[in-house]
Every structure is written in C-alpha cells, then in structure tokens.
Structure 1
Amino acid sequence: MQINQDNQGRPSRIDSQAGSKRCARCGEIKPVSDFLRRTGKRSAKGSRRGTCRNCRAQLKKLEQTAAFPMGTDPSLEMPSREAAHSHFPTPEPLFKPQRRTTRALPSPLPVEGPDASVLRPNRQGKIRMRGRTDKGSRWHQEVDLELAVTLVKEHAAVVVNRHTIRRLYSNKAFRRYILARDRHTCFFCGGYGDTIDHLLPKAKGGHTTPMNCVCACNECNQSKADQRLEDFIGE
C-alpha cells in the first residue's frame, strides 16, 4: 500500500494491487477506473485526476445551475461568478453609443503641383502612377505618357516628379466627391442622383476624372449608356 497526500493535505491512498484511489473531494476510496486520465504533456504515464467522476459531475451541475441542490455538501467548491449570475437578466444600458456615419469629404480643389509638361517617360516608355485603395493600401502601376498627362490636366492626379504621378482619390472617395460636388443632382434631368456617369464614355476613350464625371440619376445613366453627350442631348 502506497500513501501520498493530495492537494488539500489529506492522505490519498493508492493501492497498486487492487487499483483503488482516494478522491480528493469526497474522501472515498474508489477504483482507479472512476478517475479520468491526465492528458497533459507533463503527466506521468497512467496517472489519474484527483477528483472522481461523480464529484466532477456534481461540480459541473453546480456551474450550470449556479445554485446548490438539496442535500449537497456545502464544503464543495463554490460555482464561478459567471455561473452564479447567469440566471439574472442583463440590464439594458442607459446610453447606446451611435456609430459615426459622417466622413470627411476630399478637398474639392486638387493639390497644386508641377505642370504635366514636366513628365518624361522612363526607359520602358512608361510613367509610374501610384495611389491608395479604399482600405488605405498603397498600389502602383505603369501607364502611358498620354494617359498620365490627361489625368493631371483633368485634376485626377498630380505630378510627384518627372517620372511619377499620384492619383488623388480612391474609388469610394472619388464617388463621394462627385456626389457632394453636384449635391446629388442629376446633370441631365435635375432630379435626385446617386450614380456617376462619364460624359465621354470609357468605351470611347473617356477616363474617370472630375472633369469627365458627373452625378446622374439611375434612369438617365441607363438611358445614356455609352452614348456621347452630344448624341444623348440631341435625342
């Protein structure tokens, strides 16, 4: 017979021949099969937990009900604070903070910089264009000199140096700017507009710039489609 002490200082008897062990909570000597195996990395081979299955089931029930059932030994471990208050309704807060929906619009005037005439293509015959996405990530690509000059002249980009330009707006920022500039008024019919239309369609060489984009209602935008401004107004 081997005699050890548990975590509470009480003798814990382990009979290696009969395979019995004393529970650390109820103090009863029970077969080793009534104790769960330890699964930790530092646990010895064949070691068992100090609490029997019956006591562990009672503790789990106490945590779920947050109260001691009738006839339960009060010396058992008290339930956790979260379990003790789980049956009480959560009071509604007196003040709920509102999420901010207003965002600062981009500046209506482009940032002043060098003229587009200073642009010079690199050895590959391209101009480096950089900007930011809607989430703030940086991006860059190579564009033709003609496109770079058009973007600068139509106030969609500024010159950084003779080989680089920078886009002023991301996609969402550009849409907010156009709608705010035109005050959500359709350029064609004067009604309420919440879409953006290209005066010179992109299919015919137009670009997404402040000088080529206007606010339009959904009906006018679909009716115009890929027509030029002169053709659409002349109908």
Structure 2
Amino acid sequence: MPPDKLMDETEPLATKQCASCKEEKPLTQFLRRTGRRSSAGSRRGACRECRKAKAAAPLTAVTAKEPIAVRSSVKANKSLPMPPRPSIPLPNDPAALKTTRQGTIWMRGKTDKGRRWYQEIDLELAVTLVKEHAAVIVNRHTIRRLFSNKDFRRYILERDNHTCYFCGQFGDTIDHMLPRAKGGHTTPVNCVCACNACNQSKADQDIESFMK
C-alpha cells in the first residue's frame, strides 16, 4: 500500500484551544467534564498545566486582578471606626426594669452554701433593691442579689468597723433603720451595725423616736 494512502487513513489527533493560554493542545491535556448533561468527549476549558499554575499562584496574584476602586474601598472600610451603638439604660438604672406578663420581676441569688435560688417579686421592691445597692439588673425582667445572708452581715459589720450606730460601742449585729415591719428592706442603705443592747431596745421603733 502506498505511504500516501496510509497517511490519509490515519485519524487526525483531536485538539482544543486552552481558555487560559490560548494554545491548541490535545484533548488528553484537558480534564473531562462531569455531570448528567456532559457528553463523553466534553472537556474543561483550561488545560492541566494552566490549572496547576493557577493553583500554585499566591493569593496576592488573585487580589491584584481586583479593580483599584474595590481594593481602596475595602482598605478605607477597615480603617474607619465602628459607628456608635444606640444608647441603652445603665445596668443599675431602675427605669430599665419591665415586668413580665405575670406582672412580676424575677430575683435570683445564692444561699450561704452557694445554692442558687429564684423568686418572683413586684416591680416596686425590685426598684428599691436596685436603688439601695442590694441588687443589680441582669436584664429587663431579672435582678440579682449581691449578697447572701452571711456575706451581707459581714459586709455591714466591716463597713461600720464593728461600731454601733446608736451608742458608739462595739457592735456585732445589724439593725434596720426603718424596721421591716414598717416597710424597710435588708439593703446596705437601710442597715447599720448595732450592739445587742441597742438592737433589742430599738425593736420596731423608728430611728427618730428611738434616738430621742
């Protein structure tokens, strides 16, 4: 058989133009496409060499292709300070308290042994405890007692230096200036150090009548 006839009968090698380097390369240099709609002979646009070079390129080369306006705006946004947040009530502002649907406020605290407890109180009592520094606001429906019974007694005695508020002698008890029977509460503002004699003699009297 003549050699010219052999050259005509041989099938030409299929090629494709790379989408990156724009060179004609054999189909073996391109990855096959996957998916239901892909045919058996379909190939991807970029050749294997261009894909490897793109994967090995540093990230700075990718960002360098971004428009200058985009990069400058991103840098400007990073340098700008955060906008100021809207003003919210202070943590100990009683105006921040709102009752629940039941019309109460949740109060939580800890016992002398560290066990947690919860209690429902009215809004007026919660406001008084916050104002007189016996509790702090956790959220608009909840306050937290600052002292357990044992810690509160030690705090009052150390604050008043174990000195009776009424007679000036040594004191080891605490007394309510406005008695609890008349609406007083166990708060740092309403409690003082007292000796045992003054505490017993005062009983449920007002401080004005007792001092007279």
TM-score, normalising length from structure 1? 0.52
Larger radius of gyration: 2
Partner of residue 190, structure 2:
212
Matched, 1:141 2:119: yes
Partner of residue 194, structure 1:
172
List 4+ stretches of structure 1 deviating above 2 A. none
Tell me the amino acid that sits aligned with residue 174 of structure 2: I
Matched, 1:114 2:70: no
Identity %: 74
Q: In structure 2, what is the Cα distance between the partners aligned to 1:137 and 1:197? A: 26
Give the deviation of 1:113 after TM superposition: 2.4
* Aligned partners of 2:92 and 2:130 also within 8 Å: no
Tell me the amino acid that sits aligned with residue 193 of structure 2: C
Q: In structure 2, what is the Cα distance between the partners aligned to 1:114 and 1:146? A: 15
Matched, 1:156 2:111: no
Residues 1-235 of structure 1: matches in 2 within 5 Å?
113-234=91-212
For the aligned residues, what is the CA RMSD?
Answer: 0.9
Q: Determine which structure has the larger helix proportion and give its number.
A: 2
TM-score, normalising length from structure 2? 0.57
Q: In structure 2, what is the Cα distance between the partners aligned to 1:144 and 1:181? A: 29
Q: In structure 2, what is the Cα distance between the partners aligned to 1:215 and 1:128? A: 29
Structure 1 residues 96-129: Cα deviation after superposition (integer angstroms, max 9, x where no partner): xxxxxxxxxxxxxxxx823011100000000000
Partner of residue 108, structure 1:
none
Tell me the amino acid that sits aligned with residue 183 of structure 1: N
SS in 1 for 2:124: helix
Give the deviation of 1:153 after TM superposition: 0.1
Q: In structure 2, what is the Cα distance between the partners aligned to 1:205 and 1:196? A: 17
Tell me the amino acid that sits aligned with residue 212 of structure 1: N
SS in 2 for 1:131: strand
Number of residue-to-residue matches in the alignment:
123
Unaligned runs of 5+ in 1: 1-111
Unaligned runs of 5+ in 2: 1-89
* Aligned partners of 2:171 and 2:194 also within 8 Å: yes
Give the deviation of 1:188 after TM superposition: 0.3
